[in-house]
Structures are given as structure tokens and as C-alpha cells.
Amino acid sequence: MLALLGGHFARAEPRDLALAYVQALLADPARGSAVEIAARAGAGSVWSTQRLLTRTVWDADLLRDSVRSHVVPRLGASGPCVVLCRHETVRAGTGAVAVAPAGAVGRERNTQVAALLCYVSRGVGGLIDRELYLPPRWTSDPERCARAGVPPERVRPQSMADLGQEMLERAVAASVPIGWVFGGPEFADPGLRRWLCLRRLPFCVELPQIPGPPVPPAEPRQNESWQLLSRSLGAAFGRPAPGFGLTLLARRHPSGRISRFLLHASLSAPGIPAARTMAAAGPAAARAVHEADARAGLSSHHVRSWVAWYRHTTLAMTAAALRLEAAPRTVRAGSPHPAKPGSPQPAGTDPSHPRGPAPRSR
């Protein structure tokens, strides 16, 4: 732990407090308020813990890079994948940064949404990057962003795919081995797909659901009512990289819902093994996010500012990375898998449900 954290602090006092903060998250991840963490960390007062997350001089992005350098070698490069994940957390009130109402009318909840990047190898995943999504009602209100400490250069509309591309750019620059990139429908943006194609990166993204017109029961379609149309996938989804091809995969759920995936793979790589890799990588990433929530306090916080969110999240990623030391390198057969790659469920949800409720802040 000292090797991972120690070099990021110029003075012993904040370094020791950061070590105690991570130890507190590992010991009791569910208790994430500054008061509770300060008590468990043995800090003199709650203000010292709050200073660590807000005023103390240290760079959370440099620690993020150290976490990535810690996670990737420990998981190895056997069939390496990176998975773009949407992580949604319910928050009490509207004071926290990037909080916005979400859900059906009459059942709205205040939520924070983050994009996470998970590295997966040999059936085990670890978080290596994070970005906080600013909803439109925040980017259209610069004064509110300023009160929450959002840097002026970040007060602009950005989609989840934009945040995913930023994280992938950092992973590529750091020479992270990437055999495949997987993502849910939030990351199926044409711009991100084009960026991946230009870098000759194999990817598989779930396409957004497109509801079809209902067929009246009294008017079934007849065979002669079907018309065969021919259109290349390149015309619909952009050109693949040289030597690569595009494949449209479909998966029918027991409920009857059909999920569609766009696969960008080398022409020498059959699509079925790629689909199997996707089927394993998505649940591995979901488990990693669930473990970071349940055992490293990823969502258990009450921070309100931009800087504090990034610092707490990075310290929680540090705690989760340290747990990889004792993690098994293979997954037992029959272990529960979330249903949807690229859309992992947070702690406290039913892992068999692709869109279960997010955890409530404590």
C-alpha cells in the first residue's frame, strides 16, 4: 500500500492520512462519511479527512495512473480486454456534483453517473480509470458548476462515449494491452467507433434498442409482404479498418427481447470466439465494479465537489486494486454473472437483472 500511495504526497501527514483512508475503506466500505472514515482512520478531526479530499495538494490523476500500472501487470495479458462501464449511484438531495433526476415520471431519483474503465484478463477485472458525467442541466448552468468546483474547461456537453474515448486514449498512451474493447449502448456512438477503427482496435458494442412498430394480431404479416433489401454494414455503421470486418450479432433473451451487438474484428478472427470473449468479459467487469462498491467503498461517500469526487473515487480504486493481491485468478464455474456486458450492476442489486436499482448513499 505504501509503495502505491507514498510517492504521491510531499509530506508525511497527508500521506499517512491517505493510507489510513484506504485502510478504512478496506475495513468498512459501507461507512463512507467523512466523520466515520476519520474515526476509523484515527484522524484528529473530521476536517483533516475533508482536507485530504479537497484542499491538500496531491494529484488524483497521477494516483489513477499508478493504480493502472498496479492492476494491469497483476492481471496479466492473457486475452486482455477493456470494458467501458456505466455506473449509476443514487444520491440523497441535489447538492452533490453532477446529480440529476433520472427514472420514470413519478419515480425519479437523484443519481450520479460515472464512466468506468475496467481491465479484464483471465476472467478477473480491475478498475483502471474513471470519469464523472455532467448532465445537460449542469453544463447549461456554469454558476452551479463553479459552486461545485467543476473546472471551466470541463463545463461542456460530453456524452458517455466522449468520456469513454478519453479513458481509452489514456490506456493506449500507457501501452495497456488491449485485445478487445467492449461497451454497452451508451458507448456505441459513431464517433467512438470511428476512433477505434482508426486505431485498428477490435471492439464489440451493444447497439441501442430500436423499438419496432407493433403488428396488429388481426393482421399477421404474409410471406409476400416481406421485401429483401441489401445494404452493407459499412454503409450503416462506417468503414472498418483495413483487414477488419463488421459483423452484426443478435442475442435473444428468455424474455423475448433481442440485443444487437456490432463487432469490429480482424477478418482472420472468427466471430464466435469473439462473442464468447465478450460473454466472459462483461460479467468479469461487472464483478469488479460490484467488488469495488461492496468491498472498497466506491459509492459510499457524501462528497459534494468535483475534486472530492475524483479523489474519493481514486482512493476507492486504490483499495480495490489492493484487494486484487488476494483475488483468485480464475472464476469458478457456476458463479453468478450479470446479464449485460458493458453495463455492470452496482452493489446491492440483483446481478441477474441488467438494470437493477443503484445503491443508495449512506
**Is residue 342 within 8 Å of 85, Cβ to Cβ?**
yes
Global pTM reads 0.83
**Pairing relationship of beta strands 109-121 and 180-183 according to DSSP bridges:** unpaired
Q: How far apart are CA 139 and CA 151, in angstroms?
A: 11
Please give the share of the chain, as a percent, with pLDDT higher than 70. Answer: 75
39: left (phi over 0), alpha (psi -120 to 50) or beta: alpha
Query: Which of 21-25, 104-108, 305-309 has maximum average pLDDT?
Result: 305-309
Q: How far apart are CA 346 and CA 351, in angstroms?
A: 9
Grid cell for residue 153:
474547461
Predicted confidence band at 352 (pLDDT cuts at 50, 70, 90)? very low
pLDDT on residue 360: 38
Closest by Cα among 8, 166, 143 to 84: 166
Q: Is the pLDDT of residue 223 over 60?
A: no
